[in-house]
Amino acid sequence: MTASIFAHLGFEQTNDTVKVRYPSCLHTFENARTVAQEFDVEVERLADEAWGVCFDRKPAQTYPDLPKRFFARLNGYPAPYATGIDTYRRPENPQVSCIVVLNENLPFVREHLIPSLLANSPAESIEIIVVCNGATDPGDTLGFVETVRSRWGAVARAYNLGVSLSRGATLAIFHDDVVVDDADWLEKCRAALAAGATAISPEIRALEQIGEISVPSLPIAKNVPLVISRADYDRSGGYDENHYIGYEDLDFTLALKQRGMSVHFIDLAVRHFHGMSSTLKYTRIAGLAELYAFTALPREAIEAYFLEIVQSSHAANQLDFFRVSKEIQLLYVLQKYQQLLMSIQARPFHRARRQLERDLRPILPATPAATLQLLERLDRQRCGQSVMPG
């Protein structure tokens, strides 16, 4: 097997300093040294195709701001936002409720997602609710941002819980690996909804292949964010809590379509660091969450590393959580929306459903509740958790 794209990555922290060991395959030493000169920090060339950089943790006014600005410049990202969390107070009558489902990516949410929302939203217009469904406990690190614990890993349930606690007439539902860089995002979203869209997202993927079978393209609106009115969310039935991880977004998109409700793409300036949460959940690289909070790693490198994890799981001599969870939940969607899919094009969806039924018959639980239990057990085994936290 070739070396991991994150080989030679390291993080060492003391009371006074943070030392980062960085793979030269992601950024060369020469490039890092040029950027370091702008921030009055030093980098050193290390053996094993890596370079290193050290940041002082004191005074508090420069940390973690300095490493965030250094790595933003290195990766070509916009300058990081001031956190603003200390001054946030939940408004009495918010226009928009931002629901963030947090897995293990707390430092990034604290340093980037929430600051980007506060910086790019009119004062008193948004409330922020963080729903924790992983092992991470924010404690008091998010100030007055409301946090609540949900079931381990069950993303659909976490979305619904966040919505149930919110008060805005409009909902904006987020993964925990997103930065909003658009000062007009709320205005654009409200205009799109007023123009007739039921739901909008700046990232709508297409499902066009199930196993080896090509199927008519199905849209999948991603929560980066997905924006919808509360009334239409209620009409849709919300997220189907029979899902665990994966395809809850396809299910929700089809639920809207089945009810004659439209999902539209919207052009927003957002950064989606796809794979952040999964790499944190299923690997043990020291300091990786903190490195994500610095935006130290290019987005394409994070996604490539996630694919490494999936591929290694596929190759392992064990029940593959990634494959099984994906296929079980996709089969559930095909069964649930059979009539809708047949009206689009019967033959390919029928073939795909039958193929999944044959492949999964030896392990497929009898009920959705048993399916959730199976997927949670596999998930815990995959990430080394045996006791449910919280």
What's the pTM value of the predicted model, to 2 decimals? 0.93
Query: What was the pLDDT predicted at 387?
Result: 39
Q: Which is more confident, 1 or 356?
A: 356
Averaged pLDDT for residues 149-177: 96
The yes-or-no verdict on residue 1 having pLDDT over 70 is no
Q: Do residues 145 and 92 share a domain?
A: yes
Q: How far, in Å, CA of 355 to CA of 349, rounded? A: 10
pLDDT tens across 33-50, in order?
999 999 999 999 998 799
Averaged pLDDT for residues 351-368: 92
The yes-or-no verdict on residue 316 having pLDDT over 80 is no
Output the six-digit token pair for 160: 């619904």
Query: CB neighbours (10 Å) of residue 112?
Result: 28
The yes-or-no verdict on residue 314 having pLDDT over 80 is no
Domain range enclosing 155: 80-272+316-390
Q: Do residues 208 and 256 share a domain?
A: yes
Q: How confident is the model at residue 388 (pLDDT cuts 50, 70, 90)?
A: very low
- Picking from 101, 208, 99, the residue whose alpha carbon sits closest to that of residue 163 is 99
Query: What was the pLDDT predicted at 89?
Result: 92
Q: Which is more confident, 45 or 314?
A: 45
pLDDT tens across 75-106, in order?
999 999 998 898 899 999 999 999 999 999 99
Output the six-digit token pair for 66: 């300095």
Residues 142/85, Cβ–Cβ less than 8 Å: yes
Among the candidates 282, 310, 338, a domain finishes at 310
Q: Which of 69-78, 142-151, 361-370 has the lowest mean pLDDT?
A: 361-370
Widest pairwise Cα distance in the chain: 65
The yes-or-no verdict on residue 14 having pLDDT over 60 is yes
Q: Calculate what percentage of the chain has a pLDDT beyond 90.
A: 79
Q: Do residues 357 and 208 share a domain?
A: yes
Q: Do residues 136 and 113 share a domain?
A: yes
Q: Do residues 192 and 288 share a domain?
A: no
pLDDT tens across 251-276, in order?
999 999 999 999 999 999 999 999 99
Output the six-digit token pair for 178: 């997103």
Q: How far, in Å, CA of 51 to CA of 363, rounded? A: 47
| 3 lies in some domain | no
Q: Do residues 328 and 207 share a domain?
A: yes
pLDDT tens across 166-178, in order?
999 999 999 999 9
Averaged pLDDT for residues 322-332: 92
Query: What was the pLDDT predicted at 245?
Result: 85
Number of domains in the chain: 2
Query: What was the pLDDT predicted at 385?
Result: 63
Averaged pLDDT for residues 59-68: 86
- Give, in order, the Cα–Cα distances in Å from 309 to each of 26, 98, 209, 281, 291: 18, 30, 21, 11, 18
Q: Do residues 186 and 63 share a domain?
A: no
Domain at 134, CATH number: 3.90.550.10
Averaged pLDDT for residues 324-345: 95
Q: Do residues 384 and 350 share a domain?
A: yes
| 1 lies in some domain | no
pLDDT tens across 275-297, in order?
999 999 988 899 999 999 999 99
The yes-or-no verdict on residue 390 having pLDDT over 70 is no
Q: Do residues 64 and 97 share a domain?
A: no
Q: Do residues 339 and 238 share a domain?
A: yes
Query: What was the pLDDT predicted at 323?
Result: 87
- Picking from 236, 235, 119, 282, the residue whose alpha carbon sits closest to that of residue 186 is 119
Averaged pLDDT for residues 200-220: 96
Q: How confident is the model at residue 318 (pLDDT cuts 50, 70, 90)?
A: low
| 4 lies in some domain | no
The yes-or-no verdict on residue 389 having pLDDT over 80 is no
Q: Do residues 189 and 250 share a domain?
A: yes
- The average confidence (pLDDT) of the chain is 92
Q: Calculate what percentage of the chain has a pLDDT beyond 70.
A: 96
Q: Do residues 158 and 208 share a domain?
A: yes
